[in-house]
Amino acid sequence: MTEIRSRHLDVNGIRIHVTEAGSGPLVLLLHGFPETAYSYRHQLTALAAAGFHAVAPDQRGYPHTEQPPSVGDYTIHHLIGDAVGLINALGAPDAVTVGHDWGSPVAWGVAQARPDLVRGVVSLSVPFGSRQPHEPLDRIRAAYGDNFYQLYFQEPGVAERELERDPGTAFRKVFYAYSGDAPEIGDLICDENGWTGPLTDPVKLPGWLTEQDIAVYAEAFTGHGFTGALNWYRNITRNWELTAAWQGLLIDRPAMFLGGDRDPVVNWFDPAALRPIMAATVTNLTSYTLLEGAGHWIQQERAAETNAALIEFVSSVS
């Protein structure tokens, strides 16, 4: 059985916890919200068995890694800098950067800012979105109203109180509601009880998710809290301001996109038009797949198919 190892690395003035397996060319696996490196548990061993050094950090502000105190410590430049710092700290000449959810903008950003360090870039669930000329939260409010979850996350302390009251129930609701197993595609709109208020607590978990998995996530955030993770959202406007020089910048590294056709993020866009839209800005999009019936948590929901696609792509650029 492939051993999964754990350690801390000093990167950019903070201690970042990483889980890793295997040896060989580096594959850096960047998780999203509200997850941890545990979300890549199936990919670590599969990539290691295929001859790669798979490394999944708990990113800045998340459990097991340091949580800088200021909201301004979580800009996209900090997050990209951490990924670059990890590549260097691991002694690798380059990496395939893999991102899911919030990890995807980081993976794409490393490919934009430091293409010399990127053999290829993989996005799970979140397509590349080129910088737009208008402030993003204003566009979100105009499109979805004031109760969209990203707007709800802006006020410090509000979402924390909701999620920290009962992390286990919050994780059960969120993982089920935005998976392919939910009866309807989630709309990401909050109600008077917050983000998880309108979500169903499933009587039975889907087959890809166990009570032990829920416990791992809930125990990780208990005590640590959600503030560091939520601070990523509180920099959306600041990130837009900081990346003005990147407007129109293309991504020319080999790229792969894998999503689910029942993912609410994919369905923000017109799924039928998504590939040509991405191809206009990701000029070497060599792999694009939407898995039928899959939701947002694709590397957990559909581990075997995700692993096969990842190994094929990573092998092709390594």
Distance CA 125, CA 262 (A): 10
C-alpha triplet 202, 162, 229: angle, nearest 5°: 100
Active site (annotated) includes residue 138: no
Pairing verdict, β 95-100 and 118-124: parallel
Which of 101, 181, 224, 263 is an active site residue? 101
Active site (annotated) includes residue 77: no
**Helix, strand or coil, per DSSP, at residue 191:** strand
By the 8 A CB rule, do 245 and 293 touch?
A: no
By the 8 A CB rule, do 293 and 285 touch?
A: no
Main-chain dihedrals φ then ψ at residue 143, nearest 5 degrees:
-85, -40
Distance CA 50, CA 238 (A): 39
Helix runs in 120-189, H state only: 136-144, 149-152, 158-165, 167-177
C-alpha triplet 76, 125, 243: angle, nearest 5°: 20
- Residue 14 neighbours by CB distance under 10 Å: 18
Q: Give catalytic residues, as residue numbers.
A: 101, 296
